[in-house]
Structure 1
């Protein structure tokens, strides 16, 4: 999968997972991925098909200043409104362990939407995405947008 140069969506879900039953969606957004359009299409589709509670999450380094948190909240709210519309929730947290923070934030979520970085135009299933997907308490969809 790391070698393809196209849109990629991979779902890791428990047996019996039903996308139509998804109500709470968590979207960690680090701002480094290039999957914004693909993620927006997915979130728009989810929102049109049923009422969903969509929460965008941004992690900052442990000890981030109050100003950094406020700046991140404003930027994340703009991104969430652009991608999800409606009334998305945003959350900015400081964390020393990003994997643990995302897994913890996913408690109670039905679906976790992770963006994958791209290297030389190809999706990269890195350690972070694999660890989060394997430890998340809910279904995880990993997205990477092609060129």
Structure 2
């Protein structure tokens, strides 16, 4: 039987200190139009982060995901997938472009670890590859150093 559980979730704006640290300057998440450039995207509901991903082409990847969401009927499927969660919570997407795909992957890891450092867990929606075995240790250490600098703990 499910038990109600209260968890903290960062807002998209609360990811900005980590993004600014990554780029070395202030930046902001944008909405449409999505560029063909590489970057990081964040699906959220009421600006609360659900999923953080990276892409070689933001327009192509997010376009694919929007197509999957549009064709998804939650009542027809039993599994809880990324598409299921984004559909159920009527998620919207924001993004930040990066210079290359490697930078996008690094920023994705850093934003996930920043979320984990701030609230004790990664965003609620787990990625397609479930991030299992992903090389996250360097990003985790980076987020810990940023946390200590920002909050002195």
Provide the TM-score with structure 1 as the length reference: 0.36
Query: Which protein has the bigger helix share?
Result: 2
Structure number with bigger Rg? 2
TM-score in terms of structure 2 length: 0.35
Which one has a larger percent strand, Structure 1 or Structure 2?
1
More relative contact order, 1 or 2 (CA 8 Å, 6+ apart): 1
